[in-house]
Amino acid sequence: MAIAEDQFQRLAPQAYKCMRLSTMIGVLIMIAAAVAAWMILLAEQVALPLPAYFALGLWGVGWIIYGIVSPAIRYRRYRYLVDEEKLVVREGMWFISQGLAPLERIHQVTIKNGPIDRLYGLAKVIVTTAGGTLTIRFLERELAEQIAESLLHKVRYLLKQQGLSIDNMPDRELNDD
C-alpha cells in the first residue's frame, strides 16, 4: 500500500526543539560516561596506548555530531496519517519504519507526556491493538487530544456498526509521566 507523501502530516516546530533537547541529554550522558571512565583510568594511573585515546576522542566527537545531526534528520522524516480507515506513523534516522494500525483493530487510546514534552507543550498518542502499539510522538497537546478523541469516536462508530456494546468503553486514558 503506497501512501502519497502529501497525505501525511508533519510535526510542529516545537517538536524539533523537543527532539534536540532529549537527544542532547542522551549525548551528554554518553560523554559523561566516557569522561568518568577516562578519569578513573587517570586516577588508577593506567597507561593506554595512543590509539585508545584517539578512539575515545573520536567516540566523543561522533556523539557530538550525532547530537547535532540526528534531531534534524528525525524531524524531517517523521510523518503521521490518521484517516477514516487507518493510523500510519513513519519515522527513523538510519532505518525508516512505517507502522500501520487499522481503526477497527484499536483497543485503547492513551495520551502521555513526560517532563520534556510538557516543557514544549507536547504529548504522544499511544494506540494499542491486538498486534501491539503504535505511537504518534511530538504532537502539540491540543492536537494529541483531538486525535485521541477522533480515534475513539471512529472506533465507537465501528463497534456500533458491528453490533457490539460500547457502554463500558472509556472516553480515553491520560497519563502524565
SS3 assignment, position 87? strand
- The C-alpha angle 76, 28, 111, rounded to 5 degrees, equals 50
Rounded to whole angstroms, how far apart are CA atoms 41 and 48?
A: 9
State residue 169's pLDDT score. 59
pTM of the shown model: 0.80
Rounded to whole angstroms, how far apart are CA atoms 99 and 7?
A: 15
Q: Which residues of the chain have pLDDT under 70?
A: 1, 165-177
State residue 135's pLDDT score. 96
- How many CA within 13 A on the CB side of residue 82? 21
